[in-house]
Amino acid sequence: MKKVSGLFNKVVKTTGIVSIASIMSANAMANATFDFTQSLNENANTKVVFADNAQELDGALAKLNQESNGQILSLIKLNDFDASFGSTLHLQMVAGTESLLIVGTNDEDGELDAPDLQNLGGKIAGALKSSSKTFNADIHIDNLATTINTPSAHIAYGYQLRHYSFDRYKTKKSSGESTINLVTQNASAASSKFNTDLLFVAQGVHLARDLATEPGKNMYPEAFVKHVKAKFKGVKNIDIDVLDMRDIEKLGMGALAGVGKGSINDPRLLVISYRGAAKNEAPLALVGKGITFDTGGISLKSNSGMWAMKSDLSGAAAVAGAVYAAAKREESINVVGFMPLAENMPSQDAIRPGDVLETMKGVSIEIMSTDAEGRLILADAVHYAQQEYKPKMLLNIATLTGSAARALSDEYAAVITRDFELSTQMMEVGKKSGEHVWPLPLHPNHFEQIKSPIADIKNSGAGNPGASIGAAVVATFVDEDLPWVHLDIAGVDWLDAGNDVAPKGSQGWGVRFMDQLVRDQAK
């Protein structure tokens, strides 16, 4: 232990600087208290009601309008509130209520599905957080056009997704406390759905956001492992295996080892197995890219925006969150999460453009750019997953290419498969989960483009289309007979502006998508 100048003592390691606090979740605004009930809360200083029609009020809003002698309807007209889906109108001191939030639910598509309800919950969280840090709110669930059995559970889920703040390094912490009382006729069923299922998905999303937001100084490969292992402590039917540098080299994972050569922080392969079905049932394999910080290596990135490369581990973070959610609700399926972890740094030991790496599969890769490193660590990880666990399906997820972001912006993640029918199935998974994907092609010519004159393949420099080229590198290491899904989340994992279910910054994208895939596969 070495004393560091300043007010505090810290533990200084040869692999980086980390304190216990930096690997423990500390998001003051990540939790709210939810109560599902059939009766109103007399202590509530805030009421939330829904409006499908701004001219003809019904349900709780109509009752409040009557109590205000029509004042609410007058205010709705005065503020040009049209009740369109997700629109909000915040009123104070009306109908005996300190704070009244009206949320529009008029949806052109007709009935509200689960993601719609979750978006409404997120809208409420965003609106209430902007107006008050401490409150006690009643949300009246009485007039929603939906076939979902427990709409209040999904509204609470969306609220919890949005109710997140990473303020660990701020002097002034978020200190607000919120109690959310969801008034609904099926309170018991809604409470069970939220507390034994959806809450765990929200916690998995928050875990992914934590990991992607933490500064790279503190979230190197071994710190990632410690943080995730702490999160899984006490979770049933979980086995955790950590491959260190000795194991990685022994298995011949030259690509994973090579990416980490330039860093003082050795790479790791974190494997988390959840057994919720028979031991002999083939698992679903989820593989996530975990570059804990990406400088580009010798092919150094420009300084502009490099700070955001602390989130280049978002794929691995999402895998951790998805496996956590499945295990906590005790889903009836076997799932194995693989998280190859490395820090891509330039040094005298770093790999160079022109070097050749030998992979576990035996396929050699010529390095054209050390900044095309994600596909390298995935190459060894997906091969290991197939060799050791014989999965029935494999999905890999990664912040892989700017090409995917340029093609699809932040509206969709790119999905690439060998089978277009599987891509369409993944689009349906995206629709149900609220995390949408759009197919990009994988053509035989893409495999021709990555052939190397001195090795079996090259990792980049093959021209356009960049997202498909990156997928082709990974696909080289996946059995052609295995159902395989490649998700490129480079455009959706980190946003400069918040949305309905997430503040700006890390979205924890992929946890909800993979969670829905797990549910579908379990059926």
On the question of a cis peptide bond just before residue 453, with omega within 30 degrees of 0, the verdict is no
Strand partners, 488: 398, 414
Element (H, E) at 339: strand 334-344
Place of tokens 């919950």: 121
Q: Check 10, 13, 301, 432 and give the catalytic one.
A: 301
- Mapping DSSP to helix (H, G, I), strand (E, B) and coil, where does residue 446 land? helix
Q: Which of 466, 368, 363 is nearest to 416 (CA)?
A: 466
Q: Which of 209, 422, 198, 433 is nearest to 326 (CA)?
A: 198
**Is 301 among the residues known to form the active site?**
yes
**Is 375 among the residues known to form the active site?**
yes
Q: Check 375, 458, 512, 519 and give the catalytic one.
A: 375
Tokens of 50: 């829904």
Q: Which of 96, 120, 111 is nearest to 180 (CA)?
A: 120
Distance CA 58, CA 83 (A): 12
3-state secondary structure 453-474: CCCCEECCCCCCCHHHHHHHHH
Distance CA 422, CA 213 (A): 32
Please count the other Cβ atoms lying within 10 Å of the Cβ belonging to residue 250. 10
Distance CA 404, CA 415 (A): 9
Backbone phi, then psi, for 38, in 5-degree steps? Answer: -95, -5
Please count the other Cβ atoms lying within 10 Å of the Cβ belonging to residue 470. 29
C-alpha angle with apex 496: 492 to 497, nearest 5 degrees? 95
Please count the other Cβ atoms lying within 10 Å of the Cβ belonging to residue 120. 29
Active-site annotation, residues? 301, 375
